[in-house]
């Protein structure tokens, strides 16, 4: 019996089955984790100070990297857009190109990727180390729910910080595109802004970009918290969890971005 089960376990089909079961189980656990956090979110309203601390930690400290990246992305968009548009003699559309690509796609997506690297990893490592240091267990012993006390404020901090960061990214990027396009290359400033205003719709472009950034904020923060919460309480386990946060978070953001884009701008 033990012999046959051993050969079964090693077979490729049962390995596939095990993988499928593990994936579905992981997804279910992830969903229950999310629902448990949502169910405990009342803490965020009762103790807003905890959330504001997390916004400070997650948001304010990420501001510099987001702003600098946004500026350079805007610079590059301005240059590349100008070189391509010049072939068709429509350099005036540079503003529209820069603004649309930033507001619709690059703002939310690049911010989310940077956010996963900058804030997500620190969340995972922090919670993983709390777990390894048995601080979470100590909280439970003191009848403090670590989900309420530790995870919920971080989740809401991330959800609030992410759209702010994405908006700052888009704004700085547009300014960067303006610096390269108008100031350095000499595209007509009036055409740059008026084409942008003519083509960027507040609801279908700006608002959808904000919706995207909120969704990405939930995704990245949740993945980071989940990985930290599930990390094996060893140095190696925390290291792996931190890596997985970046990998899983980034892939989830890119896949979700495709879905959201297809839904929002499909027709």
Contacts of 223 (CB under 8 A, 6+ apart): 116, 120, 245, 248, 249, 252
Report in angstroms how near the CB of residue 265 gets to other proteins at its nearest: 14
Q: Which tokens is 175 given?
A: 């300014």
Instruction: Count Cβ atoms within 10 A of the Cβ of residue 175 and give its class: 0-12 exposed, 13-18 middle, 19 or more buried.
Output: middle
Report in angstroms how near the CB of residue 163 gets to other proteins at its nearest: 7
* Contact positions with other proteins (CB under 8 A) in 63-82: 63
- Asked whether position 60 contacts other proteins by CB under 8 A, the answer is yes
Instruction: Count Cβ atoms within 10 A of the Cβ of residue 266 and give its class: 0-12 exposed, 13-18 middle, 19 or more buried.
Output: exposed
The span from the CA of 234 to the CA of 228, in Å, is: 12
* Contact positions with other proteins (CB under 8 A) in 88-147: 90, 99, 103
144 Rama class: left (phi>0) / alpha (psi -120 to 50) / beta? beta
Q: Which tokens is 40 given?
A: 């405990």
The stretch among 52-60, 113-121, 138-146, 243-251 that binds other proteins (CB under 8 A) is 52-60
- CB nearer to other proteins: give 169 or 229: 169
- CB nearer to other proteins: give 121 or 170: 170
* Contact positions with other proteins (CB under 8 A) in 160-189: 160-161, 163-165, 167-168, 170-171, 174
* Contact positions with other proteins (CB under 8 A) in 190-219: 193, 196-198, 200-202, 205-206, 209-210
Closest CA to 189 of 202, 205, 177: 177
Task: Give the footprint of other proteins on this chain (CB under 8 A).
Answer: 49, 52-53, 55-56, 59-60, 63, 90, 99, 103, 160-161, 163-165, 167-168, 170-171, 174, 193, 196-198, 200-202, 205-206, 209-210
């Amino acid at each position: 019996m033990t012999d046959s089960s051993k050969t079964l376990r090693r077979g490729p089909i049962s390995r596939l089955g095990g993988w499928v079961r593990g994936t579905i189980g992981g997804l279910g656990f992830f969903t229950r984790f999310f629902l448990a956090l949502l169910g405990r979110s009342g803490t965020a309203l009762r103790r807003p100070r905890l959330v504001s601390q997390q916004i400070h930690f997650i948001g304010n400290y990420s501001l510099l990297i987001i702003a600098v990246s946004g500026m350079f992305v805007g610079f590059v968009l301005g240059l590349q857009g100008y070189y391509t548009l010049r072939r068709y003699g429509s350099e005036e559309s540079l503003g529209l190109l820069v603004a649309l690509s930033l507001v619709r796609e690059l703002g939310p997506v690049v911010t989310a990727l940077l956010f996963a690297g900058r804030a997500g990893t620190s969340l995972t490592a922090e919670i993983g180390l709390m777990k390894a240091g048995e601080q979470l267990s100590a909280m439970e012993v003191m009848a403090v729910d670590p989900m309420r006390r530790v995870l919920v404020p971080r989740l809401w901090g991330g959800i609030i910080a992410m759209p702010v960061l994405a908006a700052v990214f888009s704004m700085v990027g547009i300014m960067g595109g303006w610096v390269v396009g108008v100031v350095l290359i000499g595209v007509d400033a009036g055409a740059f802004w008026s084409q942008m205003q003519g083509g960027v719709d507040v609801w279908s472009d700006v608002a959808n970009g904000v919706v995207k950034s909120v969704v990405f904020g939930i995704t990245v923060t949740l993945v980071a918290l989940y990985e930290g919460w599930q990390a094996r309480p060893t140095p190696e386990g925390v290291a792996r969890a931190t890596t997985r946060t970046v990998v899983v978070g980034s892939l989830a953001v890119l896949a979700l971005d495709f879905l959201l884009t297809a839904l929002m701008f499909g027709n």
